[in-house]
C-alpha cells in the first residue's frame, strides 16, 4: 500500500512541511477514495536542495553505472505492472485491460527504449578543432499530467537518469498513486538519494514554485497550452530550458481514393481510446465534402460498437473521463456544437443510457462542421469528433493546418505515396499515415502552440543534455 501522505525527498519518505490534502475521486462512481498530501514551496525548496547536492556526484557516473540502474528499474517495474494498471484504472477511469496493456506498458516501453539508446549513444565527438561534449543539463523539474500518467513519467524520468541529471517530479493530483509506485520502484532499484524526488501538489503552488526556482536548470512540462504558457513565463526570469508537450486539435484527413470504411473506423477507434483524453487524438475528421453523409453513417455505426461502462467490467471499451470538471467542460462544448449548427450524428448530452453516476460521456459525433466552429477550434479532450468537409486535397491540407495547434496529423489515402505527400504538408510534429503509429524510438512533440522540445528515444535523451565545445584538447 503506497503512502499518499508523504513525499520522497533525498532518498527518504518525509512528512510535508505544511499539512494540506486533497481527496482523490473515483471517476467511475464519483465517490471519494482517499486523501493525498499536497506540497508547498517549502517542500519544493527541500527537494531542489537534495537534487542540487546529488547532481555533483550523479552527473559523473559512468554509462555502465547508469545502464545497471535502468536495468534494475525495468526488472522491478515488470513485477509491479498490474499494480500500476490498477491504480491508473481507479484514478483516471481507463478500462482495466487498457490500463494494464497500454497505459502501464507504455511506461515500460519508454524505459526499455531509453536503456537501448544509452548503451550506444555517443556523448562526445570531434568537430574541427574541438571535442564536443554532451553533458547532463542539471536539476530538472518535471510536471506530468493525468491522462497517460505512467507514460509521461517514464519518458521524462528514464532519459533524465540516463543523461545523469537529478530531478523533482510533480505528478497530477488526480492520478498520484502510479507516481508513488514508480517512486518505490526507483528506491528499490538503488537510485542514489537526492537523484529523484517527488512532491505531490497543485499546479499553481508546487508547479509554479518549480517553474520559478532559480536552482532548477530545466522544466519538462506536459499539459494544457494554457498552463504551459504560465510555466514558460515563470521560467523566463531564470532563463532555464523549458521543454513542453501541450494541447492538440489533430486533423485526420481521408482522401477521395481511400478505403472509407477502414479509414473512418480507424479514426473512431482512436478518438474513443482513453475516452478521448489523449493530446494527439484525431478530433477533426476531414473528408471529401461529397461523401459527408456516407462518412457520417459509417462513423455512427463504428461508434455504436464501443461499449461505455465500468472500467472494471470485462468488455468495457470506454470508461469515464477523469473528473467532474472535465465532464462539465465536455458537456458545455457538445452543447456549443449543437447551438452553432453542427449536425449531431451520434451521442450527445448527458450520461449514457442506463447510467446514473460517474463521469461517463456518450461517444459523440458531429457532421457538417465548419472549421471556425468552437468544436473544431478548442481541444475538447473527450470522445467527441467533428467531421469537416473539404472541396479537394488542397482544401483538406489548408483545413488541417488552420489551427493554432500542431501536435499530430493523420492521413488515409488510396496509396502510401499519396498519403506521404499530403503528410509532409501538415504542420505538426507527429504524422501517422495509413493507420501506422510511432515506435518509442521516434521523436514525439509538437509545432506551434502544441509545444517545443521532443520526447522518446534518442531525441528524449538529448532534451536533457547540454552541448560543450572544448577546443585545443586534441592530440597531434
Catalytic sites, residue numbers: 245, 279
As given in the structure block, the three cell numbers for residue 74 are 525495468
- Phi and psi for 99 in degrees, rounded to 5? -60, -35
Which residues contact residue 21 at a Cβ distance below 8 angstroms, ignoring those fewer than 6 apart? 5, 35, 36, 37, 38
CA distance 250 to 425: 14
Which of 275, 283, 351, 278 is CA-nearest to residue 318? 275
CA distance 461 to 458: 5
CA atoms within 13 A on the CB side of 176: 28
**DSSP state at residue 214:** T
Beta bridge mates, 134: 467
With beta carbons less than 8 A apart as the criterion, state whether 337 and 382 touch: no
- Phi and psi for 97 in degrees, rounded to 5? -65, -40
CA atoms within 13 A on the CB side of 103: 33
CA distance 268 to 265: 5
CA distance 204 to 198: 17
Q: Where are the beta strands (DSSP E) in 38-175?
A: 124-127, 130-136, 139-143, 166-170
Which of 99, 101, 79, 81 is CA-nearest to residue 90? 99
Q: Where are the beta strands (DSSP E) in 234-305?
A: 241-245, 251-254, 284-288
Amino acid at each position: 500500500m503506497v503512502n499518499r501522505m508523504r513525499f520522497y525527498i533525498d532518498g527518504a519518505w518525509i512528512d510535508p512541511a505544511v499539512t494540506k490534502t486533497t481527496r482523490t475521486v473515483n471517476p467511475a462512481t464519483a465517490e471519494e477514495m482517499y486523501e493525498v498530501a499536497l506540497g508547498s514551496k517549502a517542500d519544493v525548496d527541500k527537494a531542489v536542495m537534495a537534487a542540487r547536492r546529488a547532481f555533483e556526484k550523479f552527473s559523473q557516473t559512468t554509462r555502465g553505472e547508469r545502464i545497471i540502474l535502468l536495468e534494475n528499474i525495468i526488472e522491478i517495474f515488470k513485477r509491479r505492472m498490474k499494480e500500476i494498471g490498477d491504480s491508473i484504472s481507479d484514478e483516471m477511469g481507463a478500462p482495466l485491460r487498457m490500463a494494464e496493456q497500454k497505459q502501464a506498458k507504455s511506461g515500460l516501453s519508454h524505459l526499455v527504449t531509453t536503456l537501448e539508446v544509452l548503451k550506444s549513444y555517443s556523448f562526445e565527438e570531434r568537430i574541427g578543432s574541438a571535442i564536443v561534449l554532451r553533458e547532463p543539463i542539471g536539476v530538472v523539474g518535471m510536471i506530468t499530467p493525468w491522462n497517460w500518467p505512467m507514460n509521461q513519467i517514464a519518458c521524462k524520468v528514464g532519459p533524465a537518469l540516463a543523461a545523469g541529471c537529478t530531478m523533482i517530479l510533480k505528478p497530477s493530483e488526480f492520478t498520484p498513486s502510479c507516481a508513488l509506485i514508480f517512486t518505490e520502484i526507483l528506491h528499490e532499484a538503488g537510485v542514489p538519494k537526492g537523484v529523484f524526488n517527488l512532491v505531490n501538489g497543485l499546479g499553481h503552488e508546487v508547479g509554479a514554485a518549480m517553474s520559478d526556482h532559480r536552482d532548477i536548470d530545466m522544466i519538462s512540462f506536459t499539459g494544457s497550452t494554457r498552463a504551459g504558457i504560465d510555466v514558460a513565463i515563470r521560467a523566463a526570469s531564470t532563463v532555464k530550458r523549458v521543454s513542453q508537450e501541450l494541447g492538440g486539435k489533430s486533423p485526420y484527413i481521408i482522401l477521395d481514393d481511400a478505403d472509407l470504411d477502414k479509414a473512418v473506423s480507424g479514426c473512431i477507434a482512436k478518438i474513443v481510446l482513453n475516452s478521448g483524453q489523449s493530446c494527439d487524438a484525431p478530433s477533426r475528421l476531414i473528408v471529401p465534402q461529397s461523401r459527408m453523409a456516407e462518412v457520417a453513417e459509417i462513423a455512427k455505426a463504428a461508434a455504436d460498437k464501443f461499449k461505455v461502462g465500468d472500467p472494471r467490467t470485462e468488455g468495457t471499451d470506454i470508461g469515464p473521463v477523469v473528473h467532474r470538471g472535465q465532464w462539465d467542460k465536455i458537456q458545455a462544448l457538445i452543447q456549443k456544437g449543437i447551438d452553432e449548427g453542427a449536425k449531431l450524428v451520434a451521442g450527445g448530452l448527458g450520461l449514457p443510457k442506463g447510467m446514473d453516476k460517474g463521469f461517463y460521456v456518450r461517444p459523440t459525433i458531429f457532421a457538417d462542421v465548419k472549421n471556425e466552429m468552437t468544436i473544431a477550434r478548442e481541444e475538447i479532450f473527450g470522445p467527441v469528433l467533428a467531421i469537416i468537409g473539404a472541396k479537394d486535397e488542397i482544401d483538406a491540407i489548408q483545413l488541417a493546418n488552420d489551427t493554432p495547434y500542431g501536435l499530430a496529423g493523420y492521413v488515409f489515402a488510396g496509396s502510401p505515396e499519396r498519403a506521404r505527400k499530403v503528410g509532409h504538408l501538415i504542420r505538426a510534429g507527429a504524422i501517422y499515415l495509413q493507420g501506422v503509429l510511432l515506435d518509442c524510438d521516434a521523436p514525439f512533440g509538437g509545432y506551434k502552440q502544441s509545444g517545443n522540445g521532443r520526447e522518446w528515444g534518442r531525441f528524449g535523451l538529448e532534451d536533457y543534455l547540454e552541448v560543450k565545445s572544448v577546443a585545443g584538447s586534441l592530440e597531434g
